[in-house]
Amino acid sequence: MSATADDRRPAPPDIRARKGGVPLVALTAYTTPMARLVDAHCDIALVGDSVGMVLHGLPSTLGVTMEMMILHGQAVARGLTRALLVIDMPFGSYEEDPAQAFRNAARLMAETGAAAVKLEGGAHMAGTVAFLTARGVPVMGHVGLTPQAVHQLGGYRVQGRGQDADRVRRDAAAVAEAGAFAVVLEKVPDALAREITEGLPVPTIGIGASAACDGQVLVVDDMLGMFTGFRPKFVRRYGELGAEADRAIAAYAADVRARRFPAPEHVFAAEAGK
């Protein structure tokens, strides 16, 4: 369950205050039923732009639109009573300049009820983070592997190895100093994630980073094993729902073709009440 002391919905300052405390628990959610499940156990429900790949079959997050994020953000909001709702800003909605970022962040928050937005990028986005936070938009940062920059990074590779570690350090420090209330560290080496976590004044939330981070986040469909052939190294599967769903659908199809379903108990008699 949410680790807030009074079981109220945490606000971004509450998340920031959890630095060094009980680890923060976060999962993605894209629908109302999943949001209800996440809400019962997590501190943060993230409407990630991963929705484009998970639910819409897109090859990357680059095709995700504001309209998609708003639609799924509204659905998730209906399922939450305790978890903090954070929503990703999609590619192209904030990079042009801080004013564009504010317009789109304000729209996302107003139309979904999200308490904060998450945006990708390090030192080069610090000015935008500062601009947003100064105007009442809480920002969660995201450094290391930033999927919206997948082409520039040359794929979904580990970031921060060797001399590249300095870049990730600078990026994390810059967005924290600019006012982010938490920073996601994605796909960075364990030792580097530990070092950054120790040095930042705000919580780090790891995904493919380190157990030493102040919290963890995963794509809920990955964690539940909804995709039978997709097994990232950094994901621990806590279920195998994809395989179970496949078995259930196969059994249903076999019963329909054999006319075993519907059975007598699943149909209605001519007389009322039977």
Q: In sequence order, which residues have a C-beta less than 8 Å from that of residue 78 and are 6 or more positions away?
A: 32, 35
Q: Do the annotations mark residue 49 as ligand-binding?
A: yes
d(CA 182, CA 126): 13
What count of Cα atoms within 13 Å lies in the side-chain half-sphere of residue 86? 30
d(CA 274, CA 272): 6
d(CA 49, CA 211): 24
Contact 117, 138 (CB under 8 A): yes
d(CA 226, CA 205): 23
Q: Do the annotations mark residue 187 as ligand-binding?
A: no
Out of 67, 96, 111, 186, the active site residue is 186
Q: For residue 86, count CB atoms less than 10 angstroms from its CB and return exposed for 0-12, middle for 13-18, buried for 19 or more.
A: buried
Start-end of H helices in the chain: 12-17, 32-39, 51-54, 66-77, 98-112, 126-134, 150-153, 165-178, 190-199, 220-223, 241-257
Active site residue 271: no
Q: Do the annotations mark residue 2 as ligand-binding?
A: no
Q: Do the annotations mark residue 120 as ligand-binding?
A: yes
* Strand, helix or coil for residue 122: coil
What count of Cα atoms within 13 Å lies in the side-chain half-sphere of residue 100? 12
Q: Do the annotations mark residue 274 as ligand-binding?
A: no
- Omega before 262 cis (within 30°)? yes
Q: Is the dihedral of CA 34, 35, 37, 38 positive or negative?
A: positive
Q: Binding site: which residues? A: 49-50, 88, 118, 120
Q: Binding site for 3-methyl-2-oxobutanoate: which residues? A: 49-50, 88, 118
Q: Binding site for Mg(2+): which residues? A: 49, 88, 120
Active site residues: 186
